[in-house]
Structure 1
Amino acid sequence: MAAKPFASSADLTDKPRTLEILDDGVYALTAEGDPNIGAIEGEDFLVCFEALATPTAAREWLALLRRHTGKPVRYLVLSHYHAVRVLGASAFDAQTVVAHDATRALIAERGEADWKSEFGRMPRLAKDAASVPGLTWPTATFSDTFTIALGGDRGDLHLRHPGRGHTEGDIVAWLPRQRILFAGDLVEAEAALYTGDSYHREWAGPTLDAVAALRPDTLIGGRGAVTRGRAAVDAAIGQTRHFLETMIREVGAVHDRGGTLKEAFTATHAALAGRYGHWPIFEHCLPFDVSRLWDEFSGITRPVIWTAERDREVWDLLQD
């Protein structure tokens, strides 16, 4: 049997993109399971949410956005630190790049390693990798909340840290007047979760509780289609929670009985594949997800840094 291609290295076909206007001056770009990105108009400026993997990729998004608004980008909001979300930042020419305090610390600690790791896992997203000028550094950080007054009658945009989850420093962008939430990778809409840098039990519990408590009518997750309507939003949050809880149950059971990481991966794959196996990046993510969760059960509180070399070691260990 041929070896399974590493991560998403064989996924080289561009995905159709959909630009949606969610409300007056609120935009989202989705791409069939590729990272989502968004923008919110202020009275005379833009707030952009996420930056994509390279400036070249980001400029393609901005060209689509410029069909609808020519306002300058005042704020670029980074929901967390992963390379495919942040390294396109220079294309936005933003006055202020906003992230959580922990995200800045993570960039300093492991940004270079993450850059090499993620571009190796997802080469298609690293469009014109040479266009990246270096690590993206936030110029404004916060611990709990950060409010952006949009001006006129547009209300405020609230950036919040609901707790540790996908990473230590995830933030969401909440428009209470429109009841629209950009949730970053804390919620996925029919796309598999990547949890290699996660805090699984916090994410599945109080962090998702805090996201759900906002009661958005429209939710843009990290990947997947825009979710509309309270029932659909609750279902997306519920699916994310169920994915995490299933992993916790399966990996925990194997760990408790003195099994191996490989056995934990096999059990978790079997438990998830029927419901989630057809979702984008499921096969790519799961070896790294299980490895991180195994570390948590082994008492390793903070995620071990992923390097290109460690990626391959874990991948090879867990494949049949």
Structure 2
Amino acid sequence: MTKGFASQTDLADKRETFAELAPGVYALTAEGDPNSGIVVGDDSVLVIDARATPAMAGDLVRHVRAVTDKPIRHILLTHYHAVRVLGVAGYPERVNVIASDVTREMIVERGQQDMDSEIQRFPRLFRDRESIPGLTWPTMTFHGEMTLWLGSREVRIIHAGRGHTRGDTVAWLPKERVLFSGDLVEYGATPYCGDAHYADWPATLDRIEALGPTALVPGRGEALVGEAQIRDGIAGTRAFLQDLFAIARQGAADGADLKTVYDRAMREMRPKYGHWVIFDHCMPFDVSRAYDEARGIDHPRIWTAERDIEMWRALEG
């Protein structure tokens, strides 16, 4: 392999920012590492995305305890990826773990393979990984949409549609107009599309944009505040997807092989997007999935630790 695999050489700690977006509504961001959200209700707390390990969840709990002593009773999983969910065991109180029914189906289908794959790709993001007791399972699932009432505070939990995965879920606070998008939106960070549905994702973005948020917490990158910044963040995510999928569709139509499509994508997309966080990590996975979908493979193939390495060697070796 001509360069370090995925993010194995990214070992530098990132500076965390804990910002209040509305009274009792917070975002924990970290220079392009996966974000989490905190919503403080009348008598309990909701955490949005649990982090990768129990130890890393403990860091988030310390942020919560800096602003409230209310118990953490609910954790929302925006999707099934290990880096978002495996920290659930790090919350000492009894919690409801909420996910869409589709997200649970994906954990059944590919949760273990994804866990093994992501730990291989992101060693820094799985600090103290020996503390992970196993897969995280939802204790509560919903179909389509549900409302969680934290006393008088309303949180609408919406299975927004296929995009980053087919189970993507957002948290929408209608009174505060704050949206937690999960990895449907990224800001200054390359969308990971290894399990994506490129053709559907732009319409899913349209649906969440139509909610009219005035603050948006993306999956990676700083929190977006104000309609102009939110519009810019959503538009950037949409442009990346459409640019890459157009290259893949043209390559498939021309009968080009994956390596040829990948080389063209890197050549054409690096000038516009190469400065985004984890660009070199994501692109081999993103192009592989785009090429599959362009050739009619609707259901994303499962990434395993072995498939990861085989693909990387074919495209970067």
Matched-pair identity in %: 47
Q: What's the secondary structure of 1:81's corresponding residue? A: coil
| Deviation (angstroms), 1:123 | 0.3
**Is 1:71 the equivalent of 2:70?**
yes
**Is 1:282 the equivalent of 2:273?**
no
TM-score by length of 1: 0.97
Counterpart residue number, 1:84: 83
| Deviation (angstroms), 1:94 | 4.2
Which of residues 170, 173, 190 is equivalent to 1:175?
Answer: 173
Q: Which amino acid aligns with 1:316?
A: R
Moved more, 193-202 or 59-68: 59-68
Question: Do the aligned partners of 1:246 and 1:271 also contact (CA within 8 Å) in 2?
Answer: no
In structure 1, C-alpha distance between the alignment counterparts of 2:94 and 2:164, rounded to whole Å: 25
In structure 2, C-alpha distance between the alignment counterparts of 1:74 and 1:56, rounded to whole Å: 18
| Deviation (angstroms), 1:23 | 1.2
Structure 1 vs Structure 2 CA RMSD: 1.0
**Is 1:124 the equivalent of 2:137?**
no
Q: Which amino acid aligns with 1:15?
A: K
Counterpart residue number, 2:31: 32
Matching of residues 1-320 of structure 1 within 5 Å: 3-92=2-91, 93-152=93-152, 155-204=153-202, 206-319=203-316
| Deviation (angstroms), 1:190 | 1.1
| Deviation (angstroms), 1:299 | 1.7
In structure 2, C-alpha distance between the alignment counterparts of 1:193 and 1:271, rounded to whole Å: 16
Question: Do the aligned partners of 2:35 and 2:220 also contact (CA within 8 Å) in 1?
Answer: yes
Q: What's the secondary structure of 2:260's corresponding residue? A: helix
In structure 2, C-alpha distance between the alignment counterparts of 1:220 and 1:270, rounded to whole Å: 30
Equivalent pairs counted in the alignment come to 316
Question: Do the aligned partners of 2:245 and 2:294 also contact (CA within 8 Å) in 1?
Answer: no
Moved more, 64-73 or 109-118: 64-73
Q: Which amino acid aligns with 1:123?
A: P
Query: Which deviations, in whole Å up to 9, do the C-alpha atoms of 1:12-65 show, x marking residues without a partner?
Result: 000000010111110111000000001101100001100111000110111122
In structure 2, C-alpha distance between the alignment counterparts of 1:190 and 1:232, rounded to whole Å: 12
| Deviation (angstroms), 1:150 | 2.1
Residues 10 and 25 of structure 1: CA distance in aligned 2, closer, same or farther (over 3 Å): same
In structure 2, C-alpha distance between the alignment counterparts of 1:270 and 1:203, rounded to whole Å: 24
In structure 2, C-alpha distance between the alignment counterparts of 1:107 and 1:232, rounded to whole Å: 33
In structure 1, C-alpha distance between the alignment counterparts of 2:69 and 2:271, rounded to whole Å: 45
In structure 2, C-alpha distance between the alignment counterparts of 1:279 and 1:71, rounded to whole Å: 37
Moved more, 91-100 or 304-313: 91-100
Question: Do the aligned partners of 1:9 and 1:121 also contact (CA within 8 Å) in 2?
Answer: yes
Moved more, 292-301 or 31-40: 292-301
Q: Which amino acid aligns with 2:137?
A: W
In structure 1, C-alpha distance between the alignment counterparts of 2:314 and 2:208, rounded to whole Å: 35
In structure 1, C-alpha distance between the alignment counterparts of 2:217 and 2:272, rounded to whole Å: 21
In structure 2, C-alpha distance between the alignment counterparts of 1:236 and 1:201, rounded to whole Å: 19
| Deviation (angstroms), 1:95 | 2.4
Q: What's the secondary structure of 1:37's corresponding residue? A: strand
What are the ranges of 5 or more consecutive residues in structure 2 without an aligned counterpart?
A: none
